[in-house]
Amino acid sequence: MGDDLSSVDETGCLARAREGDTSAFGDLITLHRGKIHMHIFYMVRNEEDALDLTQDTFIRAWRSLARFDGRASFSSWLFRIATNAAIDLCRKRKSRPQTEVELGPMKIDAASRTTPSPAEVPGAGLDRAEIKRRIEGAFAQLSPEHRAVVVLKEVEDCSYEEIARRLGCSPGTVMSRLFYARKKLQTLLADLHEEF
Amino acid sequence: MKNSDPNDPPWDKTRALLREHLTAPPLPHPDFINSQVLETIRREGNPRPSAPLFPLRWLAWGGGTALGTAALLTAFFLPHDLSRHEDGFISHVLEARAESPQLSVTSFRAPDDRGVVLWVEGSEFIPANESVQ
Amino acid sequence: MKRAVLILISLSVWATAVRADGDRIWSALVLATKEDPEKPVPESLTEMAPVIQKVFGFTSLYLLGEKKRNLVSGGEEWLVPSREFFFKVQCLSRQETAYNLRIELYRGEKLLLTTAVKLARGAPLYIRGPRWGEGQLIFLFEVQ
């Protein structure tokens, strides 16, 4: 079973899967597993959890296949299941203390005996690894719902309507969440803009 | 609905950073996902996903009972007297704070307790040719 | 038979929802002027128009934007009745007929005002905003 998706007829597979054909459902998994995994990973930011939730998404989808009414696309429906699973996990995680990521420019102690490295001094040029760390840290400070809209809009370039379908909310909610998320990210990453 | 982003240079930079650095690892061992999911389905007995959970007459009795119970609860517990002058129907401002030294805020009840007003003084005048929408 | 069952279930869900957390918070941005007293009032402002006239002294109302959101105790929502002015609303708690809300009013990126208010159903919050041209901006909040 590889990733040769060219011959998979999604509508036909879906119809057969609804009749109980697990092999057809396997083809649907093959068709969608990559994107679902990526979407979940962006939200939960942990590989192991993303794998578990990807499996969980398809298991939930199988159990709910009778309730899929075809109004949205199968892909949008899957994304909605995946998003809810990721949000549930992130909420459970909230009750466990997480290490806060210290953001913003590093303060230079005037009495420090060591010379700060270029990566630590704002304006001196951050290396790629440090920039990535900063961006991931800022992104992690968003709620899962806000992460989802940022990724779908800014990274995957989805329309507001498609994001609304995938997340099961209104386009207005998408816009509000996106606005808040952008504001927060811009604040957290303000000093990085000075590097560019 | 427009899909284009606001013309905002700082956000363009942030978006560029996100696209460059926010990455997801490829799905490791993709076929493992398939085998695990299908194994779980088989272990659960591979129920036909289209099989109804309850017979139709169960649903009919369940629905009728729920409707009757809801009607009884509504009749007995929904308040009938929705007098505006009960305290539960009056709004109050508990606290109000202007975030700028130019602004001042006071609050008072609207006439006939039909709401509550925050009176803000010192707001910057907006010329008519500036958009607020 | 199937249709009858579906109707029964829908009615029972609706009946129980009468007492459920089905409230919504509605916000609007209104331009109030003294131009034309005969101008018809926008439908969603019918009940508020007399209060606006008494309190603010304006007779003509233009609805520039409105937004409605579900209210969930403990939840937070952004209401964006216009691109320029918008609100962050936190629902702190819920009582029988009122909600304790924390509302922040923003213009662009600037926070203008923070307020904690007990907002009862049918008793809106009116916020006097800045003058715009010949008129006055008024922000409205209501639990519906």
DSSP state letters, chain B = ---SPP--HHHHHHHHHHHHH---PPPSSHHHHHHHHHHHHHHTT---TTS-SS-HHHHHHHHHHHHHHHHHHHHHHS-S---TTSGGG--EEEEEEESSTT-EEEEEEPGGG--EEEEEE-PPPB-TTS---
User: Is A106 among the domain residues?
Assistant: no
Across the range B65-92, mean pLDDT stands at 71
- Whether residue C78 and residue A183 make contact (CB cut-off 8 A), yes or no, is no
Of residues A20, A50, A54, nearest to B48 (C-beta): A20
Nearest to C130 among B70, B96, B126 (CB): B126
Average pLDDT over residues A79-104: 69
> Which of A99, A125, A158 is the endpoint of a domain?
A99
Is pLDDT above 50 for C1?
yes
**Domain end (from A52, A67, A99):** A99
pLDDT at residue A40 in the model: 92
Does some domain include residue C2?
no
Q: Is residue A3 a part of any domain in this protein?
A: no
Note whether residue C52 is domain-resident. Answer: yes
- Residue A104 in any domain: the answer is no
For A137-155, write each residue's pLDDT tens digit. 888 888 888 888 998 898 8
Q: Are residues A95 and A116 in the same domain?
A: no
Contacts of B43 in chain A (CB under 8 A): none
In a domain, A165, yes or no: yes
Note whether residue A65 is domain-resident. Answer: yes
Pair (A82, A119) in one structural domain: no
- Chains in contact with C, where contact means 3 or more Cβ–Cβ distances below 8 Å, are A, B
Residue B6, pLDDT above cutoff 80: no
Mean pLDDT score of chain B, rounded to an integer?
A: 76
The CATH number of the domain where A141 resides is what? 1.10.10.10
User: Among A3-12, A24-33, C46-55, C62-71, where is mean pLDDT lowest?
Assistant: A3-12
CA-based nearest residue to C115, from B88, B91, A187: B91
Is C3 inside a domain boundary? no
Q: Is residue C12 part of a domain?
A: no
Residues A40 and A94 reside in one and the same domain: yes
The most confident of the ranges A98-102, A134-138, C71-75 is: A134-138
Domain boundary among A99, A129, A163: A99
| More confident of the two residues A191 and A8 | A191
The pLDDT, as a whole number, for residue A140 is 85
pLDDT of A176 higher than 80: yes
Q: How many separate domains does chain A show?
A: 2
A30 and A54 belong to one structural domain = yes
**Which of A112-116, B58-62, B70-74, B97-101 has the largest mean confidence?**
B97-101
Q: Of A171, A168, A170, nearest to A160 (Cα)? A: A171
Are A78 and A146 contained in the same domain?
no
Whole-number pLDDT of residue B1: 36
Check residue A150 and give its pLDDT: 92
Which range among A88-97, A141-150, C6-15, C98-107 shows the weakest confidence by mean pLDDT? Answer: C6-15
Contacts of B67 in chain C (CB under 8 A): 8, 11-12, 15
CATH number of the domain encompassing residue A15: 1.10.1740.10
CB contact under 8 A, C109 and A183: yes
How does residue C40 score in pLDDT terms, banded at 50, 70 and 90? Answer: confident
- What pLDDT digit, counting tens, does each position of A18-63 carry? 888 999 999 999 999 999 999 999 888 888 889 999 999 999 999 9
In a domain? residue C88: yes
C4 — pLDDT class (breaks 50, 70, 90): low
pLDDT at B52: 57
Residue A159: φ, ψ to 5°: -75, 165
Inside any domain, residue C8: no
Q: Are residues A135 and A75 in the same domain?
A: no
Instruction: Convert A65-81 to b/e letters by CB count within 10 Å (16 or more is b).
Output: beebeeebebbbbbbbb
Is residue C13 assigned to a domain? Answer: no
Euclidean distance between CA atoms C107 and C113, whole angstroms? 10
Residues A127 and A73 in one domain: no
Given an 8 Å threshold on Cβ–Cβ distance, is B110 in contact with C126?
A: yes
Q: Where in the sequence is the domain holding C77, given as residue range(s)?
A: 21-143
Contact: B64, C8; criterion CB under 8 Å:
yes
Lowest mean pLDDT among A113-127, A148-162, C31-45: A113-127
Stretch among A2-16, B28-42, B55-69, B92-106 having the lowest mean pLDDT: A2-16
Cβ distance B118 to C115 less than 8 Å, yes or no, reads: yes
Quote the domain boundaries for residue A171. 111-196
In the prediction, which pLDDT does A145 show? 86
Contact: B46, A47; criterion CB under 8 Å: no
- Model confidence band, residue B31 (pLDDT cutoffs 50, 70, 90): confident
A190 confidence band (pLDDT: 50, 70, 90): confident
Question: What does the pLDDT look like over A93-120, one tens digit per residue?
Answer: 765 544 433 333 333 333 333 344 444 4
pLDDT band for C93, please (50, 70, 90 cuts): confident
Q: Count up the domains in chain C and report the number.
A: 1
Give, in order, the Cα–Cα distances in Å from C41 to each of C28, C44, C48, C66, C121.
14, 8, 10, 15, 21
Same domain for A159 and A190, yes or no, is yes
**Amino acid B10: pLDDT:** 65
pLDDT at C88 over 60: yes
Residues A83 and A156 in one domain: no
Q: What are the structure tokens assigned to A55, written together?
A: 């499996």
pLDDT of res. A168 = 83
Same domain, A26 and A76: yes
> Per the domain annotation, does A72 fall within a domain?
yes
Instruction: Indicate if the pLDDT at residue B5 is higher than 90.
Output: no
Chain A residue with the nearest C-alpha to that of B35:
A26
Spatial CB neighbours of C122, under 8 Å, sequence gap ≥ 6: B84, B89, C142, C143
Interface test with C, best of B59, B67, B74 (most C CBs within 10 A): B67
pLDDT for residue B49: 56
> Does any domain span residue C94?
yes
Q: Is the pLDDT of residue C67 over 90?
A: no
- Does A116 share its domain with A64? no
Question: Of B2 and C37, which is predicted with more confidence?
Answer: C37
Same domain, A119 and A95: no
* A1 is a domain residue: no
Instruction: Answer yes or no: is A87 within a domain.
Output: yes
